[in-house]
Chains A and B, each alone.
Chain A
Amino acid sequence: MNAARCVAVAVFRESVRDKVFYNLVLFAVLLVGASVLIGQLTAGQDVKIIKDLGLAATSLFGLFIAIFVGISLVSKEVDRRSVYPLLAKPVRRTEFIVGKYCGLLLTLLANVIVMAIALYAVLFFLARGVPSQLQRAWDTPALDPALLKAIALIYLNLAVVTAVALFFSTYSSPILSAIFTLGIYVVGQFNADLKHFDRIVDSPAAIAVAKACYYVLPDFAKFDVKLAVVHGVPVSGTYMAATAAYAALYVAALLCGAVVIFSRRDFK
């Protein structure tokens, strides 16, 4: 798997040179700006709101990166034909796919880690001005380690979205891939509705299709524990493990699918 590792590092380096990480500057500005401005507006809810904002921004920015970089991971190399000299080297097509995926995952990991550190830093400074008596009344402490659970699940969410984007990138143009990936993400958020389609429509065929979609399409709502974590509702280790396994299985399925498509693709 040396070849996969080389390709992964190359993807990471390309992200750096494409200035993907500048999104962190925007993130920092957003958090710091919000923490300065919201003091007057929220009747003592500053810490909660900063946590919500930090987690939402981590998820949203990460989503943009996963989709926009993911959809061109393979298609860019194929369109520009830099894949020709690459595949003439001792690299299997499978290693190419795995390497590309891991490279973007690495980029996202670095992004999420820096965002987590920034969030904790802002929360630290925010909580410093608040007397400890008031802090005891909060649902959760400012520097709550449970935030890491939410962040970990956000990362797993991004891993699945990246796999979806990569899968489409193996044969679709970037625009189509973006549409499909976003479409699957949106439907994945409405999973609960799909399950209960029988409450909305009468047609048995539609209900059956909806139920099938509910089970087969990735359920992105699973990865969202932001509300629970901010309000101190416990998230069990079992839940984390089960969701992580779901993510791993789904990613593996998508990568295998991508390998199936890419292995026999003619580069005209």
Chain B
Amino acid sequence: MTRVTAGVAAAMCLGGAVMLHAAQDRWTPPSVDRPELLYVRSPAVVKRAVLGYDAIVADVYWIRALQHFGEERLSPPQHVRTYALLYPLLDLTTTLDPYFSIAYRFGSIFLGEPYPGGPGRPDEAVALLEKGLTAQPAKWQYMQDLGFVYYWHLRDFNAAASAFQRAADMPGAPSWLRPLAAVTLAEGGNRKASRALWQQLAQSEEPWLSDAATLRLAQLDAMEVMEAWRNFRRQRGVTPPLPLDPSGTPFAIDPLTGDITVARESKLFPLPGQIQAPR
């Protein structure tokens, strides 16, 4: 075989392989809902397998967790968002790197998020945070986040107040935790206490955390406006015009209940408690 013949044969074989690859991709039907696979689920196994390169593998799992979350968030409306891998990936990340605080905090905010913003699993958020506290028992941020999960998602105001209290007792804790504990205990479920909590979180340096908090504050403002509108209608017997919600989109009337509600196109949709996850 001459060199030229061999070179041409090589190019042709490679070209053939490439074309076959592309063709196989076309033949396989596109599956939108193919479940994502996580080959190794057990954090204990992974920790042993990485042979001392824990931190960098934790980073890889963190990136995957973010990507998974983002993909689910941005998927088309007909896709059922399960966020199935969010907790396993965050669990793997934090087992490999127990000090990876952003993973715990991200989990605390978004694991408890009800459908469609998150998997709606506040129990997983609690488990993750408690794991973080085992590794770093004096980290007040985790205790504060625990309080937040009890408050906002589990609606257990006693547990939330106790968590805020314990956080306030930890070294380095900011001064606003103690009054927050008190307010939670006294008026848990009250919008005022919730607003105080979100206002603190809105000042965080983590952009995604402060953005989430700002959104919540806007939603609280919307709920205030909606309540004022209902009161006005009840007292005057007249249906007032629909104002603009804090994000600039006008409110809407729910056709089923006749009640004021945030419009679907609004950035503030859905308000907490508005949509149920499909079973």
Contacts and interface: CB of A to CB of B under 8 A. Distances in A.
Contact of A224 (B52, B66, B97): B52
A186 B43 CA distance: 18
B55, B63, B101, B106 — most chain A CB neighbours (10 Å) = B55
Contact of A43 (B54, B55, B98, B208): B208
B19 interface: no
Contact of A59 (B48, B52, B63, B206): B52
B48, B98, B205 — most chain A CB neighbours (10 Å) = B205
Nearest to A49: B59
Contacts of B208: 43
A189 interface: yes
A189 B52 CA distance: 7
Contacts of B58: 52
A45 B64 CA distance: 13
A31 interface: no
A43, A60, A134, A139 — most chain B CB neighbours (10 Å) = A43
B56 A45 contact: no
B62 A52 contact: no
A257 interface: no
Interface residues of A, number: 31
B55 A226 contact: yes
Contacts of A92: none
A190 B48 CA distance: 7
B53 A60 contact: yes
Interface string A206-246: 00000000000000110010110011010000000000000
Interface residues of B, number: 24
B203 to A, nearest CB: 12
Contacts of A137: 205-206
A167 to B, nearest CB: 21
Contact of A45 (B48, B51, B62): B62
Contact of B99 (A42, A45, A189, A231): A231
A44 interface: yes
A45 B59 contact: yes
Interface string B59-74: 1001100110000000
B53 A56 contact: yes
A52 B55 contact: yes
A45, A59, A220 — most chain B CB neighbours (10 Å) = A45
Q: Is the interface of A mostly helix, strand, loop or mixed?
A: helix
B51 A43 contact: no
Interface string A165-188: 000000000000000000001100
A139 B56 contact: no
A193 interface: yes
Interface string A30-70: 00000000100111110011001101100110000000000
Contacts, number: 63
A41 B60 CA distance: 10
B53 A59 contact: yes
Contact of B56 (A44, A53, A186): A53
B35 interface: no
Given A45-B62, A48-B59, A133-B205, A221 B52 contact: yes
Contact of A44 (B97, B99, B207): B207
A150 to B, nearest CB: 10
A227 B207 contact: no
B54, B56, B207 — most chain A CB neighbours (10 Å) = B56
A84 B58 CA distance: 51
Given A43-B106, A227-B99, A231-B99, A55 B66 contact: no
Contacts of A42: 59, 62-63, 66
Contacts of A220: 52
Contacts of B97: 227, 231
B9 interface: no
B62 A56 contact: no
Contacts of A231: 97, 99-100
B205 A186 contact: no
Interface of B: 48, 51-56, 58-59, 62-63, 66-67, 97-102, 106, 205-208
> Shortest 5 CB-CB distances between A and B: which pairs?
A231-B99, A56-B56, A52-B55, A137-B205, A52-B56
Given A41-B63, A221-B52, A226-B54, 12 more contacts: A42-B59, A42-B62, A43-B208, A44-B102, A44-B206, A45-B62, A53-B59, A56-B55, A56-B56, A186-B51, A189-B51, A230-B55
17 contacts: A41-B67, A42-B66, A43-B206, A44-B206, A45-B102, A52-B55, A53-B56, A56-B55, A56-B56, A59-B52, A137-B206, A189-B52, A193-B48, A221-B52, A226-B55, A227-B97, A227-B98
